[in-house]
Amino acid sequence: MKAAILSALLAAQAARRPVALASKLDGAEEYLLPNDAAPPALNDAAFAALKRDRSGIAEIDGAAWFFDVHNPSPRLFIVGAVHIAQALAPLAAAAGLDTVIIDPRRGFATAERFPGFAINHEWPDVALQALKPDTRSAIVTLTHDPKLDDPALIAALKSEAFYIGALGSRKTHAQRRERLAEAGFNEAALSRLHAPVGLDIGAITAPEIALSIVAEIVAHRRGGRIVQREPA
């Protein structure tokens, strides 16, 4: 790998920018993609590989290329260090999500309750502004407290997060939508919210709810089939 390409790859990784290293199998050419200077067909193949999140060989204009995918790790930001979060964090980690607990209430967000997980004690909107959710980020609010959930959801809706979920009943969510609409979000923005959060598997216990949340996040990340909840 050329020094310039290695430097660009390291910079992309530091900036959490998805890139693919395309190497012609005869060793003649190499590109870090996307790159405006590269042939359009190479960029198209790189975008496809990044979307699949899988490295592999593709034939471009009669030549074989290996596309080495360098996607940033997927992340989950959990707002609210509640008992469901204690079940959700390890399940999310097992599914490959780098998980951060966000809660300014230091009595809840402790290393003892969330061993091994990153904890952010800033107010949710401040925390998310610093964490910069991107297209590889999911955000879930669990507090039931509008003073914490609403700032988080406002920040989430302004971000590129691929999944935004909020715990609460349909009645609670209807009230939440009204508040967010008053804050300036239109129907297209509000449609990004998944609430009640998680797939409808009849979950009751904290571990079951956590499982439903992780399942829905994975479905959105991988393009799985999602059955919509029936209206109340």
User: What confidence score (pLDDT) does residue 27 get?
Assistant: 81
pLDDT tens per residue, range 126-154? 999 999 999 999 999 999 999 999 999 99
Per-residue CA distances from 145 to 80, 83, 111, 152, 205 (Å): 9, 15, 22, 11, 20
Name 99's bridge partners: 76
Please list the helix, strand and coil fractions of the chain in percent, rounded to the nearest 5, in that order.
40, 20, 40
Please give the torsion angle defined by the CA atoms of residues 126, 130, 133 and 134, in that order, rounded to the nearest 10 degrees: 150
List the chain domain ranges: 3-70, 75-222
What are the b/e assignments for 64-75, b being 16+ CB within 10 Å? Answer: ebbbbbebbebb
User: What confidence score (pLDDT) does residue 129 get?
Assistant: 97
Please name the residue ranges forming H helices in the chain: 3-14, 40-52, 83-94, 124-131, 146-157, 170-182, 187-190, 206-222
User: What confidence score (pLDDT) does residue 70 get?
Assistant: 97
What's the residue count for the chain?
Answer: 232
Q: CB of 15 within 8 A of CB of 4? A: no
Q: CB of 114 within 8 A of CB of 86? A: yes
- For 1-23, the three-class secondary structure string (H helix, E strand, C coil) is CCHHHHHHHHHHHHCCCCEEEEE
Residue type, 67: F
Give the chain's residues under pLDDT 70: 226-232
Place of tokens 């009645």: 171
Other C-beta atoms lying within 10 Å of the C-beta of residue 228: 6
Residue type, 123: W
What is the CATH number that goes with domain 75-222? 3.40.50.720
Question: Residue 206: phi, psi to the nearest 5?
Answer: -60, -45
Place of tokens 């999500």: 97
User: What confidence score (pLDDT) does residue 227 get?
Assistant: 60
